[in-house]
Chains A and B, each alone.
Chain A
Amino acid sequence: KNEVEQSPQNLTAQEGEFITINCSYSVGISALHWLQQHPGGGIVSLFMLSSGKKKHGRLIATINIQEKHSSLHITASHPRDSAVYICAVTPTHDMRFGAGTRLTVKP
């Protein structure tokens, strides 16, 4: 069983739509990460959180430690948001990754 599960696997949205990507994990963690992987393969860290909620521009990440669940929200989505969004957790000094959610935002 995967330690980090993401849903949905694929998501297509129209420009301007509100988007939610979900992540559930089954191990104890020190932090949860949301990463963005561009079509060229590069990975960018969007958020690192261990409790509550963080916001950066149009992106919002929340985590519920008791339920072992996190969500990534994108408000007013734009075609440039099209990428793979990856949830990852750090139990200690390693990082365990979800399979990613491929987001396509159409104009």
Chain B
Amino acid sequence: EPEVTQTPSHQVTQMGQEVILRCVPISNHLYFYWYRQILGQKVEFLVSFYNNEISEKSEIFDDQFSVERPDGSNFTLKIRSTKLEDSAMYFCASDRDSNQPQHFGDGTRLSIL
């Protein structure tokens, strides 16, 4: 069965640096999402993306964050000037349309030192 793949599985970065988290959604999916889960807390929505533009974003998704679909397969989340509180598990998900369940990647654990 096709899967959403995320790389790397674990990213360690110094505070203030930029990180790019990568996702390869399922190939015939059209909607893409990023979520984060701070350790011990609930999952939080960051952004949804459709037709090469952001369709919705949360209050968390401020100017520090950006998303891009640089080619036909990758979907990336860029975090600029990382802060300690950006440490979390970041999940990518995709679906074919809003009436279908989302498929989640295994996540990237981001640790900011």
Contact = CB atoms under 8 A, between A and B. Distances in A.
B45 interface: yes
* Most chain B CB atoms below 10 A, which of A31, A45, A90: A45
B67 to A, nearest CB: 13
Contact of B89 (A30, A41, A94, A95): A41
By secondary structure, the B interface counts as: strand
B56 A92 contact: yes
Interface stretch (A11-19, A62-70, A74-82, A97-105): A97-105
Contacts of A96: 45
A40 B42 CA distance: 15
A28 B42 CA distance: 20
Given A41-B107, A95-B35, A30 B102 contact: no
A98 B104 contact: no
A44 B104 contact: yes
B42 A99 contact: yes
B57 to A, nearest CB: 8
Contacts of B86: none
By secondary structure, the A interface counts as: strand
A8 to B, nearest CB: 15
Contacts of B102: 33, 45, 95
A42 B43 contact: no
B56 A94 contact: yes
Interface string A32-67: 010100001111110110000000000000000000
17 contacts: A40-B106, A41-B106, A42-B104, A43-B104, A43-B107, A44-B104, A45-B101, A45-B104, A48-B101, A92-B56, A93-B31, A93-B98, A94-B45, A94-B48, A95-B45, A97-B42, A99-B42
Interface of A: 30-31, 33, 35, 40-45, 47-48, 86, 88, 90, 92-100
Given A31-B98, A35-B104, A93-B31, 11 more contacts: A41-B89, A42-B106, A43-B91, A45-B103, A45-B104, A48-B101, A86-B42, A93-B48, A94-B45, A97-B45, A99-B41
